[in-house]
Structure 1
Amino acid sequence: MAHLVKDCASGGSEPRYLAIRSIIRNRIADGTYAAGTAIPSEHELSTEFDTTRLTVRNAIDGLVTQGLIRRVQGKGAYVSRVGQGQHAHATGFRAWVKADESAPSVRQLSKAKRAAGPWYADLFDIDEDDELYSIRRLNSIDGVPVSLEQTLIPVKFFPGIEDVDVSVFSLYETYAMCGRKVALAQEKLDVVALSTRDAGLLQVEPGSLALSLECLSFDEQGRPVEHAYALNTGRRSGYTYEY
């Protein structure tokens, strides 16, 4: 493939960076570079195509503009099939924080797969032996921890979801990239006292009160695709309801 790029460029029919851009775009389209995962580094691509890193950077720039690639400082470039206008109506943590002109950050605490069991099998209309992807995350705003989230997702609805870096893409973005945008979320609120462990992560005193939020998210066909439970300290966050 690198030789094809060189031949094309030397023939004058297409600049080399455009030829490389086309190849990367095709690899995204055919799944070679999967949505939500990192593409090879500029150094690796420049070696593959026998060209300079500047040429590769120019190739990727166009894909960033088109919304196919997202650059993340210190991490690299990631495939994103969610362009402007394609986000779900319901939004996740990062979206509403950015709307408030603050800086969100998400730290993944753990991830694992587990059997659905009878309760979640009934909730998601799947078999009891089907796998759920479990993710525990700590959300912060401007560096201040504000909430802990435990999320369960049916793996059969989102093949390959465990390969997506959720510190780069929100789960709602990931669902949309997998073809299941979240259209509706039902929430149940309560007030609980924080355990010593959870209080330590949220940097508050053990026993402090927190707002608990149980959320069930649905796709556009009305099917449940995510169950989440969050603990919110109330610092830099809150809820507003309109009737």
Structure 2
Amino acid sequence: MRKAEEINYKSPMYLQLKKVIYSKIQSGEYLPGTSIPSENELAKMYGINRLTVRNGIDQLVNEGLLMRVQGKGVYVLGANGKSNVETVGGFEEIVDASNARSIKIIKQVGRKASDKFSWIFGIGTEDEIYYIKRIINVGGTPSSLEETYIPKYLIPQLDSIDLSVFSIEEIYEFYGIIRNKVNETIDLTRLDANEGRMLKISANEEVMVMESISFDDKNRVVDYRRKYSVSDLCKYSVCMKKD
């Protein structure tokens, strides 16, 4: 659609821009978890000023469809907005008002499933999966190293989603994936030298490792995770649900 057909002078331009962005969200052009063009880009795109763009975006932020992230941009939320999604269980970082939690993405790539993940996810060996490796920091100190594998067919555009802004559980919620069962094993292990440096621990120091396979309400395997946690910065929680 041409610029002149989208933005004109018949009604307030910020409301027209709001409608355009809303339409792109509804059509799937702007997907939940992804960022929209910057204020400067939108201003150039539609021949309007940045204040008008900001007012249009603010309307959608107030309605819970967009979220501003300082230093990063504006992101699309799911239909239910951003929420504190409860986990089924597992290691949680010990966070209080003085120890903010942050995430650093080390790797977020697509790859072939291979024999192991073909068996885990019930897909072909040549089918695509996503591999995500990230460090979770508490108060600026690395507390966990997490590796996650997700079949691509569940969330085809996962590689365009900023997982330092949204948790995987929030992404599942955006895309209607209900994670309702997790099989977990817990052990102690030692990391290799490189991963030990990521967590700022010595080579012979043991960490807790949790391996988990998550299922959704359709009994599909939705992810496989390995999480290495420094014990004094984490706690283990279990949420039990009675049928």
User: Would you say same fold, with TM above 0.5?
Assistant: yes
**Structure 2 residue 135 is matched with structure 1 residue 134:** no
Counterpart-to-counterpart distance in 2, 1:220 and 1:97? 26
On the 8 A contact 2:82/2:170 being kept in 1, the answer is no
Counterpart-to-counterpart distance in 2, 1:129 and 1:56? 44
Question: What amino acid maps onto 1:17 in structure 2?
Answer: Y
Aligned positions of 1:14-163 closer than 5 A: 14-81=11-78, 83-84=80-81, 89-90=86-87, 100-101=96-97, 102-163=99-160
The Cα offsets for residues 197-243 of structure 1, whole Å up to 9 and x where unpaired, read as 22111111111110101111222222110000010012321114478
Counterpart-to-counterpart distance in 2, 1:112 and 1:40? 23
Q: What's the CA shift for 1:100?
A: 4.4
Q: What's the CA shift for 1:5?
A: 5.3
Aligned partner of 2:180 in structure 1 is 183
Question: What amino acid maps onto 1:193 in structure 2?
Answer: R
SS, match of residue 124 in structure 2: coil
Q: Which moved more, 1:183-192 or 1:132-141?
A: 183-192
On the 8 A contact 1:70/1:78 being kept in 2, the answer is yes
SS, match of residue 134 in structure 2: strand
Q: Which structure's relative contact order is higher, taking Cα pairs within 8 Å and 6+ residues apart? A: 2
Scaled by the length of structure 1, the TM-score of the pair is 0.87
Aligned partner of 1:220 in structure 2 is 217
Number of matched residues? 237
Q: Which moved more, 1:132-141 or 1:182-191?
A: 182-191
On the 8 A contact 2:113/2:125 being kept in 1, the answer is yes
Counterpart-to-counterpart distance in 2, 1:177 and 1:98? 26
SS, match of residue 108 in structure 2: strand
Q: What's the CA shift for 1:175?
A: 2.2
Q: What's the CA shift for 1:143?
A: 0.9
Which portions of structure 1, spanning 4 or more consecutive aligned residues, are displaced by more than 6 angstroms? none
Question: What amino acid maps onto 1:185 in structure 2?
Answer: V
Counterpart-to-counterpart distance in 2, 1:67 and 1:45? 20
Counterpart-to-counterpart distance in 1, 2:228 and 2:152? 24
Counterpart-to-counterpart distance in 2, 1:199 and 1:99? 22
Q: Which runs of 5+ in 1 are unaligned?
A: none
- Identity across aligned pairs (percent)? 32
Q: Which runs of 5+ in 2 are unaligned?
A: none
Aligned partner of 1:170 in structure 2 is 167
Q: Which of 191, 194, 205 is matched with 1:194 structurally?
A: 191
Q: What's the CA shift for 1:171?
A: 1.6
SS, match of residue 60 in structure 1: helix
Structure 1 residues 151 and 71: CA distance shift in structure 2, 3 A: same
Counterpart-to-counterpart distance in 1, 2:82 and 2:45? 34
Cα root mean square deviation, aligned:
2.5
On the 8 A contact 2:212/2:225 being kept in 1, the answer is yes
SS, match of residue 120 in structure 1: helix
On the 8 A contact 1:216/1:227 being kept in 2, the answer is yes
Q: What's the CA shift for 1:98?
A: 9.4
Q: Which moved more, 1:206-215 or 1:60-69?
A: 60-69
Counterpart-to-counterpart distance in 2, 1:48 and 1:183? 43
